[in-house]
Amino acid sequence: MTRRILLALGLAASLTSVASAADKLKVLIVDGQNNHNWVVTTPVLVNALETSGAFTVTVSTTPDKSAPKEAWNDWHPKFSDYATVVSNYNGADWPEAVQKDFEAYVQNGGGFVSVHAADNSFGKWEAYNKMIGVGGWGGRNEKSGPWIYVKDGQLFRDTSAGSGGSHGAQHEFMVEVRNPNHPITKGLPAKWMHAKDELYSNLRGPAEGIEVLSTSLSDKTNQNEPNMMVLNYGKGRVFHTTLGHADYSMLERGFYKIIQRGTEWAATGDCKATADVPSDFPTDKVVPVALEGYPKQNTPAPKPAAASVTK
Ligand code: ZN
């Protein structure tokens, strides 16, 4: 069989496995404020989700940090239109009405995905901290809840005094799967090398019903710090990853796959549309390869300093 025929067969197979637009899960990414370059990383998240074929993605951008208070009157996403909300946001408190809507959305079964510094946000918002389980910075300390990490294969809750959130210098590091039977981790290598990123440590929070799916050994704490977690808030499912400091941290197959699966799991409780494990998924011996061909030409860059919803 010639290579061309093989390629044609591969294309046909991939076309049949791609959901039609009506079947795709609707995802809302929220951004607009962050101490990270969200203007660059949101299109990567859009690309990671859309290239799976399982999602249609909308981006909702909050007012800028310097925007007048009235600007927030125009920002009120209809969360309930979406199967999952993905946060790439770390900034000012949302208006109370938006907070209440978001709480009700997850409580009633909406999915939520917290990416990297999204767990720095809203240190005083009680429901949000229950959703993410643990977080860092934002005034968090032992009063926010225990520092959690994995020790001798068990989840350890350290209630001693201290601030929440730390990391050392960025570097490539090994991700170790702690539950290989969860839909998000199923079939992935037990250990795989992740691209240059910040390795979050000392995260604190209520951590009610939290399950740690994967950890990395911190150079700051010498403990196995969680970097993929799942939990429920009411009927809603939450996927929380601490990975994704920058575009170069996200642009590799490992991150793409966990974002795809975490988003699908938050929406449906399973990862049927994102179950495949790509051949270029990193392993404990094969370092991650930077993905090319991003961003897609038709992916609009979100505009800073404006309250807007763009497709
Ligand atoms: Zn960061």
pLDDT tens for 89-122 read 999 999 999 999 999 999 999 999 999 999 999 9
245 alpha carbon – ligand 1 mean position (Å): 4
List the one residue out of 200, 128, 202, 123 whose CA is nearest residue 158: 202
- Indicate whether 15 pLDDT > 80: no
Q: Mean pLDDT across the stretch 33-49?
A: 96
Task: Provide the 8-state DSSP code for 21.
Answer: G
**DSSP secondary structure letters along 31-55:** ES--SS-HHHHHHHHHHHHHTTTSE
90 alpha carbon – ligand 1 mean position (Å): 11
246 alpha carbon – ligand 1 mean position (Å): 7
208 alpha carbon – ligand 1 mean position (Å): 25
User: With contact defined as beta carbons under 8 Å apart, do 31 and 38 qualify?
Assistant: yes
CB environment 61-70: b (16+ within 10 A), e (fewer): bbbbeebeee
What is the per-residue pLDDT for 20? 75
Which SS3 state, helix, strand or coil, does residue 166 take?
Answer: strand
What is the per-residue pLDDT for 245? 97
List the one residue out of 153, 212, 199, 177 whose CA is nearest residue 282: 177
pTM as predicted: 0.89
In a domain, residue 120? The reply is yes
167 alpha carbon – ligand 1 mean position (Å): 9
285 alpha carbon – ligand 1 mean position (Å): 25
Task: Say which CATH number the domain at 171 has.
Answer: 3.40.50.880
Mean pLDDT of the residues in the chain? 90
41 alpha carbon – ligand 1 mean position (Å): 11
Domain that holds residue 236: 2-301
Tell me the chain's radius of gyration from C-alpha atoms.
19
242 alpha carbon – ligand 1 mean position (Å): 9
260 alpha carbon – ligand 1 mean position (Å): 20
In a domain, residue 236? The reply is yes
Strands 25-31 and 84-87: parallel
Query: How many folded domains does the chain comprise?
Result: 1
Using a 10 angstrom Cβ sphere, with 0-12 exposed, 13-18 middle and 19 or more buried, the burial of residue 186 is: middle
User: With contact defined as beta carbons under 8 Å apart, do 129 and 233 qualify?
Assistant: no
Spatial separation of the C-alpha atoms in residues 194 and 24, rounded to whole Å: 28
117 alpha carbon – ligand 1 mean position (Å): 6
Beta bridge partners of 86: 29, 113
9 alpha carbon – ligand 1 mean position (Å): 42
In a domain, residue 167? The reply is yes
Tell me the CA distances in angstroms from 277 to 39, 253, 261, one per residue in order: 29, 9, 11
User: With contact defined as beta carbons under 8 Å apart, do 250 and 88 qualify?
Assistant: no
Q: Mean pLDDT across the stretch 179-207?
A: 97
In a domain, residue 311? The reply is no
Task: Provide the 8-state DSSP code for 255.
Answer: H
Strands 84-87 and 111-115: parallel
- Where does the pLDDT of residue 179 fall: very low under 50, low under 70, confident under 90, or very high at 90 and above? very high
For 16, the enclosing helix (H) or strand (E) is: helix 3-17
- Indicate whether 310 pLDDT > 70: no
61 alpha carbon – ligand 1 mean position (Å): 19
- Where does the pLDDT of residue 188 fall: very low under 50, low under 70, confident under 90, or very high at 90 and above? very high
**Which token pair is 179?**
């539950």
Spatial separation of the C-alpha atoms in residues 8 and 94, rounded to whole Å: 49
58 alpha carbon – ligand 1 mean position (Å): 23
In a domain, residue 309? The reply is no
In a domain, residue 308? The reply is no
120 alpha carbon – ligand 1 mean position (Å): 10
User: Could you report the per-residue pLDDT of 203-254, keeping only the tens digit for each?
Assistant: 999 999 999 999 999 999 999 999 999 999 999 999 999 999 999 999 999 9
292 alpha carbon – ligand 1 mean position (Å): 22
User: Could you report the per-residue pLDDT of 53-86, keeping only the tens digit for each?
Assistant: 999 999 999 999 999 999 999 999 999 999 999 9
In a domain, residue 307? The reply is no
In a domain, residue 24? The reply is yes
What is the per-residue pLDDT for 294? 63
- Where does the pLDDT of residue 21 fall: very low under 50, low under 70, confident under 90, or very high at 90 and above? confident
What is the per-residue pLDDT for 87? 98
